[in-house]
Amino acid sequence: MAMQRFLPTRFMTSRLWEMASPAQAQACDVFINHRGADTKRTVAGLLYDRLVHLNLRPFLDSMSMEPGDKLFPSLDWAIRNCKVGVAIFSPRYCESRFCLQELALLVEAKKKVIPIFCDVQPSELLKMNNISAAAPPEEVERFRRALEEARYTVGIVFDSQNGNWSDLLSEASDIIAKSLND
């Protein structure tokens, strides 16, 4: 049986996200924001592998962290210290407060965010915004602002049933490499 890394699934308060510890995180060029249940084994994982092959330093939680690393400080540090963010939007992306928190941090840190709309259209982002009723109103507003910004950022739209995966990975990695050189 293959070993899998455990990542906590409950959302932590934003205060925990602010306790960054650079010693626990590796430097990265690209932070890959994604809904793991939807895209970790497809777009996110394949893009990570492609970027590593290009000698870039992507951050993908399941690949960039080791047992014993502090999850939230490591994510916070990686987001604040990356050069470019890639947000992979999928049908269930907005159900995850993790995803929305990471996106909001990327936007608030004024990082260039390259959206990849996988099986969703940019116009659907705010419609599918099923943020938990338990989320405080100010947090919901932060998430809506970040989604609105992503919605109006030129990105890549991909249909996983009919699209060419190789073309997606080539286009995305070319855009990321160009963004890192700008």
Whether 141 is covered by a domain: the verdict is yes
- pLDDT at residue 128 in the model: 58
Nearest alpha carbon to residue 144 among 98, 94, 110: 94
- pLDDT at residue 159 in the model: 96
Active-site residue 95, yes or no?
Answer: no
Q: Which of 18, 66, 102, 108 is catalytic?
A: 102
- Domain span at residue 95 reads 25-181
- pLDDT at residue 14 in the model: 44
- pLDDT at residue 41 in the model: 78
Whether 53 is covered by a domain: the verdict is yes
Whether 63 is covered by a domain: the verdict is yes
45: domain CATH number? 3.40.50.10140
- pLDDT at residue 88 in the model: 96
Split into its structural domains, the chain has a count of 1
Q: Tell me the β-bridge partners of 84.
A: 30, 112
Whether 34 is covered by a domain: the verdict is yes
**47 near 172, Cβ under 8 Å?**
yes
- pLDDT at residue 133 in the model: 56
- Encode the chain (182 residues) as per-residue pLDDT tens digits: 444 433 443 343 444 444 444 444 457 899 999 987 777 778 989 999 999 999 999 988 777 667 777 778 888 889 999 999 999 999 989 888 889 999 999 999 999 999 999 999 998 887 755 665 567 888 889 999 999 999 999 999 999 999 999 999 999 999 999 999 98
Whether 8 is covered by a domain: the verdict is no
